[in-house]
Amino acid sequence: MTEYLVLLPSPEARYATATDQEKQDLHAAHTEFVQLLAERGHKMTGGAQLTPSPMARVVRGTSLDEVTLTDGPFAESAEQVAGYYLVESDDVEDLARVCGRLLATPFHPAVEIRPTVGM
């Protein structure tokens, strides 16, 4: 099985103004996504929702002793990574179809699937 990082970009301003019902619908979409992964033979091994990008800290430098820490996010963008899943799968095409469930919300206009490199 190959491990994939499923990145979930989201327009933070849209989420900040979401109604309670929209947030419940988003939660339901993620719950269904996780259920579909299991039903279709994919294995979720991790994941998390991330705090808003203004809480990010960016580390830059050239060595252990020469770093600077600044407030984030790393890139100015209308969309920021809002969360991720780690998923083991033998069928990336089907994994993409399952990710389509998350596209049915106004909070994830795209999902990025990227294989990880074993450590």
- Among residues 58, 64, 20, 47, the alpha carbon closest in space to that of 102 is found at 47
pLDDT at position 74:
67
Q: How many domains does the chain contain in total?
A: 1
| pTM of the complete model | 0.87
- Among residues 52, 57, 54, the alpha carbon closest in space to that of 68 is found at 57
Residue-wise pLDDT for 49-66, tens only, equals 999 888 988 888 988 889
Using CA atoms, how far apart are residues 119 and 117, in angstroms rounded to an integer?
Answer: 6
CATH of residue 104's domain is 3.30.70.1060
Domain of 60?
Answer: 2-115
Question: How far lies 111's CA from each of 2, 17, 54, 59, in Å?
Answer: 18, 21, 21, 26
Residue-wise pLDDT for 70-113, tens only, equals 887 766 666 788 999 999 999 999 999 999 999 988 999 999 99
